[in-house]
Chain A
Amino acid sequence: MEYSVHAEAQAEAVAIELRITAQPLDEALQEFSRQSGMQVIFFSGVTAGIQSPSVKGKYTVAAALEALLADSGLTFRLINARTVEIRKAD
């Protein structure tokens, strides 16, 4: 629990400069991983057919993921401080 609180605090706190163009969401998430250094994982089916918006500027990890997943019906969950899982919103 403590760990996950810490991870979330970090995801909130650190702003990263991102330049992610609009593209298929699975590719956008890999680009996000490259630029942020966060590890990303999801079951391949969940992003099928979804296009991501472009996300450019300074974002925290949480804000960036919210922007990437806006209107996709998907959400994210921090597995630990360096890993995020993308999944269907409950």
Chain B
Amino acid sequence: MTRERKLDPTTREQAAEAWETFHGSDEATPEEHRAFGDWMLRSPEHIAAYLRVARTMRTLRSADIRWPDTLAETLIREARAYTEQVVTPLREESPAPVHRQRPRAARAPLAFAFAATLLVAIGAAWIVWMTPQNYETRFGEQRFVRLDDGSGVTLNTDSTIEVKLEKGHRIVRLIHGQALFDVAHDAARPFDVYTGQTVLRAVGTRFDVDVRPSLTTVTVVEGTVSLTHGLGEALPLGNMPLLRAADRVAIDSSGPGTPQHGVRLDEATAWTRQQLIFNNRTLGEVADEFNRYNRERIVIASPELRSQEITGVFKANDPASFLTFLSSIPGAHVGDDDNGGRVVTLDQGAESRP
């Protein structure tokens, strides 16, 4: 059995239609649900086609669901997980109190399969309306995500966002990591980024949010962003001055600091090109930055070396060149540490600056 079968164009079209029925309008009738279920059950190809459409349209949260590689049980479990979150609104929208979320276990296997298929469909449909979508990158990964409103989000290494696009409101939660937001203009639908105690509101703009353990940095690349801190206080937003292009504000546990103007934007967005740009940054900071992307950690043991400031441009995935530079500093040595990383030391009394 091939992994990605070629799908018959008619099947694809039908699957796209099915998608349209469930996602394009919120008024799919019970008849339509049934017809869709019947169509899905006719062949595994149909299920495959539907899942593919759903995935393309970003309505399936898990990238791991593949037919026929995924066991039917897994599909059912996924469907149930989704359904549990959506049972109430589904009932509210029905004209009559129809309970169609629970398959009857006593029925014949075919009926169970039918119900499960339907659950997949209903579940997938409801993700769009009810459940925030999560996007994440693993350590060392970057990813560009185009949201349904046309906005783009670039995720840096080890980052997670949660996206909820509602009729009058677009909400993104930056749970951890770093993201560059390229917000599609829509004055009627503000775009809010929540991170910690801070809300950033953009209408049509481009800005970077970098969440570190003790400090969050917001850099506006284009347009304006309003910042509000302290979610306990009531919105409306805007009790802080507007941040404009090339403004940066750092937020720590005591709240946002004074905005800094005229920051270097090429440096702020270099990570989206897999670059690291340093202007007068200490070797310690540079090492930390490489360590965000690379498993082989660089530790600069010598305090004297660590505080030396450098300027430079590197590829994020090329710590080897940085290490070669370090090893060429008179008196400096690069060795292995106990954790599979590299440790940089300096001979006593050595001159660290050539």
A30-B277, A44-B280, A79-B325 known; A39+B311 contact, CB < 8 A: no
Contact A88 B354 (CB under 8 A): yes
Q: Report the number of A-B residue pairs with Cβ-Cβ less than 8 Å.
A: 61
User: Complex: how many Å from CA A88 to CA B314?
Assistant: 21
A41 CA to B308 CA in the complex, in Å?
Answer: 13
State whether B313 touches A39 (Cβ < 8 A). Answer: yes
Within 8 A of B (CB), among A56-88: 79-80, 82-83, 85, 87-88
Is B321 part of the binding interface, using a Cβ–Cβ cutoff of 8 Å?
Answer: yes
Give the contacting residue for B313; candidates A34, A47, A80, A87; CB below 8 A: A34
**Contact (A42, B321) CB under 8 Å given A26-B279, A30-B277, A85-B328:** no
Size bracket, chain A contacts:
20 to 34
Q: Are A40 and B312 in contact (CB under 8 A)?
A: yes
Could you say which residues of chain B place their CB within 8 Å of the CB of A30?
266, 277, 311, 313
B296: Cβ under 8 A from any A Cβ? no
Tell me which of B266, B314, B353 contacts A39 (CB under 8 A).
Answer: B314
As a 0/1 sequence over residues 21 to 57 of chain A, the CB contacts with chain B under 8 angstroms (1 = contact) are 0000010011001100001111111010000000000
Q: Give the interface centre of A30, A40, A42, A88 by most chain B CB atoms within 10 Å.
A: A30
- Complex Cα spacing A80 to B266, Å: 25
Chain B 307-334 interface mask (CB, 8 Å, partner A; 1/0): 0111111110010111011001000000
- Report the nearest A residue to B278, measured CB to CB: A41
Interface of A is mostly: strand
* A39 partner residues in chain B, CB cutoff 8 A: 312-315, 318, 321
Q: Could you tell me how many residues of chain B have their Cβ less than 8 Å away from some Cβ of chain A?
A: 21
> In the complex, what residues of A have CB within 8 A of residue B328's CB?
79, 85
Q: Is the CB of A44 within 8 A of B309?
A: yes
Within 8 A of A (CB), among B258-315: 266, 277, 279-280, 308-315
From the candidates A34, A47, A82, name the one contacting B318 in the complex (CB within 8 A): A82
B311 touches A80 (CB 8 A): no
A30-B311, A44-B279 given; 20 more Cβ-contact pairs under 8 Å: A26-B311, A30-B277, A30-B313, A33-B313, A34-B266, A39-B313, A41-B314, A41-B322, A42-B311, A43-B310, A43-B354, A45-B309, A45-B353, A47-B311, A79-B324, A79-B328, A80-B321, A82-B315, A83-B314, A85-B325
19 interchain pairs, CB-CB under 8 A? A26-B279, A30-B266, A30-B311, A41-B310, A41-B314, A41-B322, A41-B325, A43-B310, A43-B311, A44-B311, A45-B309, A47-B311, A80-B320, A80-B324, A82-B318, A83-B314, A83-B318, A83-B324, A85-B328
Q: Which residues of B contact A (CB under 8 A)?
A: 266, 277, 279-280, 308-315, 318, 320-322, 324-325, 328, 353-354
The list of the 10 closest CB pairs from A to B, nearest first, reads A41-B312, A33-B313, A83-B321, A44-B309, A44-B280, A44-B311, A39-B314, A79-B324, A40-B313, A26-B311
Residue numbers of A with Cβ under 8 A of B are 26, 29-30, 33-34, 39-45, 47, 79-80, 82-83, 85, 87-88
